[in-house]
Structure 1
Amino acid sequence: MSNIISFDPKKDQAIFDNLIKYAIAPRPICFASTISKNGQVNLSPFSYFNLMSHQPPVCVFSPLRRMRDGSTKHTLENILEVDEVVINIVNYDLVQQQSLASTEYAEGVDEFKKAGLTPLPSSYIKPPRVAESPIQLECKVQRVIPLSDLPGAGNLVIAEVLAMHVQAHLLDDKNNVKQHELDLVARLGGDWYCRVTQDNLFIVPKPLRNLGIGVDNLPEAIRLSKVLTGNHLGLLANVEIIPSLDNTVDVNIDYSDSTHIHSFAAQLLDQGKLQEAWQVLLRSI
């Protein structure tokens, strides 16, 4: 194992606060649109945000207290007055506008106008949606959980989704989202972001309904391979039983060199050819 450097969130606070944003990433980004009891709309982006439940459908995001003095921000203040919020998903077409909207404008300033975005009336709640957002979630706030009153402390907003609105061009004829066309972005550390494009999408087969054999039950020659990675072993171990050798599958390689065999099997696994990889490996043990 390589050397590891450890950091204490209390003793090394400034370094820790920076590093943790690199470590827990990528984080999806949303615009939260809220409204005060006086009708003042606020729009703010959040990357401390995610989906937490299906039934009921619940999202969580976290407005932080200001680092300089621990005071609360407009989003949280609005939610405590009017317990509704629209969670608007941010994609690549909106990434610069969400960055602009993160500017802390004075109370009363309309972030929709500042960011050049269009408010769209919601169907069930008072705060408006972001018309340009690919997916908009109208939500009722269930709870707000303050984590502390220290500067930088989060306030977990637990919001139940009442309705979801999806741009029609993003759906196929079965109402599945065209993942590559959604063009999502995510927050990383510092000023870094990433973009979900066709080139970096890949599929990971879901675990079997029945139990996979597990890495511990792989043959030792495979489990202790110097070539196969943890990802490769995970794929091989996600079978109910080790396959039987199929002599009808003819792979023309040199079976006297285990390194070559494992390298070839690794290539097959990287191409999604699990059964072919197993047949190659079975001939080597």
Structure 2
Amino acid sequence: MHVVPGLQVLYFGTPVVVLSSLNEDGSTNLAPMSSAWWLDQTCVLGMSDRSRTAANMRRHGEVVLNLPDSGMVGAIDRMAMTTGRPDVPEHKQAQGYRYVRDKFAVSGLHAQPSQTVRPDRVRECPIQLECRVVAAHGMMEPDIRATAFEVQVLRTHVEEELLIPGTAYVDPLRWDPLIMKFTEFFGGARNLYPSRLATGWRMPPLGDRQGTAAR
């Protein structure tokens, strides 16, 4: 039987992304988020207009999408209640957020220079996407409180062991993304059922790789 609970949280399950953006002083700010989706070589990122990352992206127009695997959950969680804004907004103070200037230090992660944009990548993340902002769309009218940023992927960096040998495809049996589901972290890749869609995208047959353990 269906009920109508009036859900307060609609994060049914999306990958965690650590966004690298450029502060005014040239340093890199890190921000974990999970409101992201991809289409071809474009990604849409949804975030509060009161965040440091949103301000950085509006001003500088560049961002790196660092995708952590499930084994990085501790480092990501250490950033979860931090903000790059010295003037912590009242609603975030009430939630327990605190200002942290150096997110690399607090998380234990390390910076890695990017090749096409200025914000640094996160060295430990096995997938990194260098992007530029191409559009920004206000959300939550009539009082705009969030923005959906449309970004174009300029360059991808992938750990070689995640690729299907001899191809430009990430092996879904090896890639174990960190998932945010109803504000909780999840991981553990497992194939449930053969997909017809994979054939249309000319992915190598999954049956040839079933012996590959999830990373």
TM-score by length of 1: 0.59
Structure number with bigger Rg:
1
The residue number in structure 2 matching 1:203 is: 193
1:118 touches 1:132 (CA, 8 Å); kept in 2?
A: yes
- Higher share in helix: 1
Q: Percent identical across equivalent pairs?
A: 22
Q: 1:133 Cα deviation (Å)?
A: 0.4
The residue number in structure 1 matching 2:70 is: 92
Q: Which has the higher contact order (CA 8 A, sep 6+)?
A: 2
The yes-or-no answer on 1:104 pairing with 2:82 is yes
The yes-or-no answer on 1:188 pairing with 2:159 is no
SS in 1 for 2:76: helix
The residue number in structure 1 matching 2:8 is: 17
TM-score by length of 2: 0.77
SS in 1 for 2:48: coil
User: Gaps (5+ residues) in structure 1?
Assistant: 8-15, 66-71, 210-285
Provide, for residues 147-177 of structure 1, a one-character-per-residue CA deviation record: whole Å limited to 9, x for no partner. 1478994311111000000011212322332
- Higher share in strand: 2
The yes-or-no answer on 1:30 pairing with 2:22 is no
The residue number in structure 1 matching 2:97 is: none
The 1:138/1:188 distance shift into structure 2, 3 A limit, reads same
Q: 1:208 Cα deviation (Å)?
A: 11
Runs of 4+ in structure 1 deviating by more than 6 angstroms, as ranges, are 149-152
1:29 touches 1:90 (CA, 8 Å); kept in 2?
A: yes
The 1:3/1:136 distance shift into structure 2, 3 A limit, reads closer
Q: Distance in 2 between matches of 1:152 and 1:204?
A: 42
1:168 pairs, out of 160, 170, 176, with 160
RMSD: 2.4
2:138 touches 2:144 (CA, 8 Å); kept in 1?
A: no
Q: Distance in 2 between matches of 1:26 and 1:152?
A: 25
**How many residues get paired?**
184
Q: Equivalent residues in 2 for 1:1-285 (5 A)?
A: 2-5=1-4, 7=6, 16-18=7-9, 20-21=10-11, 25-51=12-38, 53-54=39-40, 57-65=41-49, 72-105=50-83, 106-107=85-86, 109-148=101-140, 153-175=145-167, 176-190=169-183, 192-197=184-189, 200-206=190-196
SS in 1 for 2:82: coil
